[in-house]
Structure 1
Amino acid sequence: MKFRSIGSMKVSALGLGCMGMSEYYGDQKEEDSIATLQHALSLGVNFFDTADQYGLGKNEALVGRALSSVRPNVHIATKFGFVRNDAGEVVEINGSPSYVKQACEASLKRLNTDYIDLYYLHRVDARVPIEETIGAMKMLVDEGKVRYIGLSEASPQTIERAHAIHPIAALQTEYSIWSRDIESEVLPLCRDLNIAVVPYSPLGRGFLSGTIKSTDTLAENDYRRKTPRLQGDNLQHNLSLLQHLEEIAQQLKISTSQLALAWLLANGEDLIPIPGTKKISYLEENMAAVDIKLPEDVKRFIDTIAPIGAAAGDRYPEHSMKLLNK
């Protein structure tokens, strides 16, 4: 495994996104998820990403159980901000100082730990000045409950305001071959401020792996069935883009997943993608990407066929898009 930096932490160049182990991507088997988490450790992965809202807290508890015996040797990132009811519906985004403290205490308990390595505001609460939210998160750092502070899907203006209150160590945002919007403003700003970028969905929610050619193959409870990029004409357009990537991968004798991850890793040492999976076979395939060096002509060709805005359709349904870039 190769390693990159978030603050003083040396984290594996590829982390493991744990969301799908508890929700959103069809059914889950806890024993398979724990086996995958433990196998990740054997591959050198030491950076694990969860959030309090994944599985209504179940994902944090799962990660806590699986990693408790190796806690000093791993870096756990979690997030707060989404408030959901018992039915799983999002009620609000809450970034109030009182909720910051409440959410952190609950996450610490579920994770079975006394500190969080990287604590993100999952989405920006438009009702609360970011200075107040970050001020409360800074108090958690001062108390030793949080090591580093992060933001997720924040606008450049919010990032600058937050960073003025307390150093932001990492920005988590969607970034992949078919989601390159951050390259125009967000990524340059993060580099100016020495903020690491943690791309989630680096495989386009599985689409860039080449395994999704129709939503009919997805489980009934898989939320990707409602993803705009996988609908109708959008899907057909995006499949054409995928075909180009599959041809490149075939020429390089690697998988399209490995191509997508190697492309991200080649875009800067400050990028730490967190591909998620529940399966050991996919985990091994993904982690092998750290040893792949893309030829410069391949990178240039990908820039040509998949520039900013190349994918058809929004990243999320309309109600979720409204929460981005705040």
Structure 2
Amino acid sequence: MEKRKLGNSDLYVSELGLGCMSIGTDETKGKAIISAALEEGINYFDTADLYDQGINEKIVGKSLKFVREKVVIATKAGNRWNEDGKGWHWDPSKNYIKEAVKSSLHRLGTDYIDLYQLHGGTIEDPIDETIEAFEELKEEGLIRYYGISSIRPNVIREYVKKSSIVSVMMQYSLLDRRPEETVFPLLSEHNISVVTRGPLARGILSDKMLEKASVQGYLNYSYEELKDLLQIIQQKLLTRDRSMTELAIGFNLFTDPVASVIAGASSVEQVKENARAANASRLTEQEQEMLMALFTANKYEDHR
């Protein structure tokens, strides 16, 4: 599988990364999914301390222990579990981040984290303090690089201006093109990569299509609009020996400054299907233009 450089770091990540949140808590099953990803050439694995109260990090760490130097492990912090374990709250403070990283390192069974990400963020956060925490962790050698996971343009702008982030993880798909308006140009200008999540829009942009669509629709698309849209795609694009998954992932990979597409998988079969889509021949200019004409270039309404 092809690899791309992550921002101005020396990390090269596979064009398809494995979003580990959906591998579950069964260690045997989780290891099988991660092994399948490795076999497909995936070297980028994304987890978070929030997922299954740290169990996810443990499974990821055990599964990648024997290939540690060959993979890029990304995890996240900022969502702090309550003491009763029944929920969590947002805590981007320096003290918490520096405490959280040690717990993640222990669960992952590693001495360093390749990419440590802030798992959210608001413009009201103590951003300077948060950045200071990440910079100190770099100096201490506990993390190699850091980034943020955010869809808020105002937050992203602050980190671009004040920090040395190498990536921003954000939701992006044919059905959610909001980052194109303001975020992508800004990140391209500063050589900061985008890591996309949700490329299949909860499964709607897959071969199951309308089976996954809710009667409420998706974002600003009604169910009827989705139905009509997907019919057009079937007639105009899916006749070219491409799957819907190929179109969805290919659309992401066509777009600058995307470095990698993170797709979740709850089975070995899903990993293989996503890998086939990522390894398929690149979309042509004509295909990309047709997709961009069919799907709305929507915009962020909040947090601008």
My pick for the range that moved more, 100-109 or 287-296, is: 287-296
1: CA distance, partners of 2:84 / 2:242: 42
Q: For residue 202 of structure 2, what is the aligned residue in structure 1? A: 205
Cα distance change of structure 1 residues 249 and 59 upon mapping to structure 2, 3 Å threshold: farther
Shift of 1:154: 4.9
Shift of 1:65: 0.9
- Please give the per-residue CA displacement for 1:173-193, whole angstroms capped at 9, x wherever unaligned: 001111110000011111011
TM-score normalised to the size of structure 2?
0.89
Q: For residue 220 of structure 1, what is the aligned residue in structure 2? A: none
- Matched-pair contact (CA < 8 Å) for 2:196–2:258: no
Aligned ranges 1:1-326 → 2 under 5 Å: 1-6=1-6, 7-22=9-24, 29-85=26-82, 90-211=87-208, 213-214=210-211, 229=217, 234-268=222-256, 270-288=258-276, 289-309=278-298, 325=303
Amino acid aligned to 2:159: A
My pick for the range that moved more, 8-17 or 289-298, is: 289-298
- Please give the per-residue CA displacement for 1:178-226, whole angstroms capped at 9, x wherever unaligned: 11100000111110111000001111122211425356xxxxxxxx98x
1: CA distance, partners of 2:39 / 2:81: 35
Shift of 1:278: 1.9
2: CA distance, partners of 1:8 / 1:238: 40
- Matched-pair contact (CA < 8 Å) for 2:249–2:261: yes
TM-score normalised to the size of structure 1?
0.84
- Matched-pair contact (CA < 8 Å) for 1:65–1:111: yes
Q: Which runs of 5+ in 2 are unaligned?
A: none
1: CA distance, partners of 2:295 / 2:5: 28
1: CA distance, partners of 2:93 / 2:230: 42
SS class of match (2:205): helix
2: CA distance, partners of 1:249 / 1:194: 32
Shift of 1:258: 1.2
Amino acid aligned to 1:296: E
1: CA distance, partners of 2:152 / 2:35: 35
Q: Which runs of 5+ in 1 are unaligned?
A: 23-27, 216-223, 315-320
SS class of match (1:185): helix
SS class of match (1:31): helix
- Please give the per-residue CA displacement for 1:91-135, whole angstroms capped at 9, x wherever unaligned: 321100101101111111111111110111011155432111011
Count of residues in correspondence between the two structures: 300
1: CA distance, partners of 2:227 / 2:264: 21
My pick for the range that moved more, 112-121 or 158-167, is: 158-167
